[in-house]
Amino acid sequence: MTTKNIFRNLGKSELRVSMVGLGCWQFSQGKGIIGNYWKFLDDQQIKNIIKTSLDEGINWFDTAEVYGWGASEHAIAKELQELHQLPQNIVMATKWWPLFRTARSISRSIDRRLSTLHPYSIDLYQIHQPFSFSAIPAQMRELANLLDQRKIRYAGVSNFSARRMTRAQEELQKRGYLLVSNQVKYNLLDRKIESNGILETAKQLGITIIAYSPLAQGILSGKFHHNPKLIQDVSLFRKYAGHLGKRFLKKSQSVIEILENLSRKYGVTSSQIALNWLIHFHENTVVVIPGASTPEQARENAQTMYFTLAREDLDLIDQATKQFI
């Protein structure tokens, strides 16, 4: 497996990440307030997914405190160690959960995060949501303190608007640091960041967009269009959050048909076409973190990095999905 040209700098930092990372919400193992969103994965299943991701060139993992209240972080660190992965070869991203907390808990809880992920460092520490009891300046000051102490390498945010992202950048700059990323929902069926200023602001500031839910919770694979009965097997929360209703499936049918036509042209899957558009249409601005519940899904996601859609096909998809901007 060649790794040529699959890495990008995260924002203006020196941190190099593969264009496709592994989103690790599904490693929550049924714990926490959102741990049952995905089916339970045991240690061996998690290890197989991580090993396949590594074998296919993925070098970074995105998790969060709230994913099983540390269960996902612990599982990743445990399996990486058992796979004999050296810390210097792994990029680890996690997030602080802000709801009903003040910014002071960022520093107070960091040692727990470091302990859970040990021996892997926190290369990217992100504010999971902008809504805490403390304003953005206070949150950024706490991140800057952690950067000063070298407890984290780089600072990022998640679900921040263009205005909040700019404010966060301004506050970090006062301490000599830069915001490197904003993790937001972005896929072909949800392109709102192109109209609400988030994407344009990220480009202007040199901030990387980390796209979560890049396959729209599996809708872009086409499996729910071809077999709606599969919807019965997903959790109620996922049905609601993933727009798995008849009206939305009908609205997105034409997009699925285009993806399937292109998948035959390139000899890949519809999901890979959808991911490839995200990592190439905006040049180096966007990286993606699809989840995977099987090694086969992990392999399919990672192999997206090894081809590039032709310009006319990127533009074709762009035109076909403008209704979702």
The answer to whether residue 67 is catalytic is: yes
Closest to 85 in 3D by CA, of 114, 61, 109: 61
- The CA distance from 293 to 38, in Å, is 8
- Which of the following is catalytic: 37, 67, 177, 186? 67
**Is-cis flag, bond preceding 119, omega within 30?**
yes
Q: How far is CA 189 from CA 14, 20, 55, 185, 325, in A?
A: 32, 19, 30, 10, 8
The tally of CA atoms less than 13 A away on the side-chain side of residue 54 is: 17
Residues classed as catalytic: 67
